Copies of this chain bind each other. A is one copy, B any other.
Amino acid sequence: MIHDIDKTSRLIATAEELFDRHGYIATGMDRLTEAADMSSRTLYKHAGSKTQLMAAVLAHRGQRFMHRIEVESVDALFAALEEWLQVEGQRGCLFLRVQGETGGSTPEISEAIKAHKTAFATRVQEIVATDLGQENPVLANQVLVLCEGAIHAAIYRGLDALTAARSAAAILVARARS
C-alpha cells in the first residue's frame, strides 16, 4: 500500500503542474498519463475521474499554501507570498482559475474553492490581529485584497507586484497601529 501513496501523490503533483501550466480543461488525460508515466488504467484506479483529480489537486495545493502562510505579521505574510510565487510560479490562483474554467458547474469543486478562500480570509484576519494585538476587520480586508492583487498582478508584472503590495500593506498597518 506504500506504493499507492507514492503513485497517487506523483499523479497529483503531475496533474497540478499540467493544470497550472496549460489549464484544467486543456489538459487531457492522455497527456497526464504520459507525464505521470502510468497507464490510464492505473491513473483511473487512483484518481477516480478527472473531476476528482482536480479536487484532489486543489486540496493538496490549498494545504501546501496554507502551511506556507503560517506567519505572525502582515509583512511576513507578504514575504511568504513572495517565496510562494517564486517557487510555484506566477500564473494566478489555481482556485479562481478552476472556478473560471468550470463556471461553478461542478459542486465538488465549487465547495473546495469556497472552503479555501474562506480559510484564507480567516487566516488573514488572524495574522492582522496577531500583528496589531487586536482585531481589525477593515485592515484585514485591505490586506486580503492586496494579497489577491499581488498574486494576479504578478502574472504580468512579476514580483514587482509583490513589492508594491508589501509596501502598501506596511503603510496601512502603520496607520492602523497609531
A residues sitting closer than 8 Å to B (CB atoms) are 21-23, 25-26, 91-93, 96-97, 99-103, 105, 113-114, 117, 121, 138, 141-142, 144-153, 155-157, 160-161, 163-165, 167-168, 171-172, 175
A160 to B148, CA, bound (A): 14
Contact B157 A121, beta carbon cutoff 8 Å: yes
A35 to chain B, nearest CB (A): 14
- Evaluate contact between A155 and B25: CB separation under 8 angstroms: no
Q: Is the interface of A mostly helix, strand, loop or mixed?
A: helix
Interface contact A100-B97, CB-CB below 8 Å: yes
Listed by A's residue number, 12 A-B pairs whose Cβ atoms lie within 8 Å are A99-B155, A114-B156, A117-B156, A121-B157, A144-B153, A145-B149, A145-B161, A145-B168, A149-B153, A152-B152, A168-B172, A175-B175
Q: Say whether, besides A92-B96, A102-B26, A117-B156, A175 and B165 are in contact (CB < 8 Å).
A: no
- Which B residues lie within 8 Å of A161 (CB)? 141, 144-145, 148
Known: A92-B96, A164-B138. A23 touches B149 (CB 8 A): no
Q: Which residue of B lies closest to A162 (CB)?
A: B145
Known: A26-B25, A114-B156. A145 touches B165 (CB 8 A): yes
Q: Is the CB of B25 within 8 A of A25?
A: yes
Count copies of this chain in the complex.
2
Whether the pair A145, B117 counts as a contact (CB closer than 8 A) is no
Question: Are B105 and A100 closer than 8 Å at their CB atoms?
Answer: no
Closest residue on chain B to residue A163 by CB atoms: B141
| CB–CB A164/B149 < 8 A | no
The answer on a CB contact under 8 Å between A145 and B141 is no
The interface residues of chain B lying within 8 Å CB-to-CB of A148 are 148-149, 152-153, 161
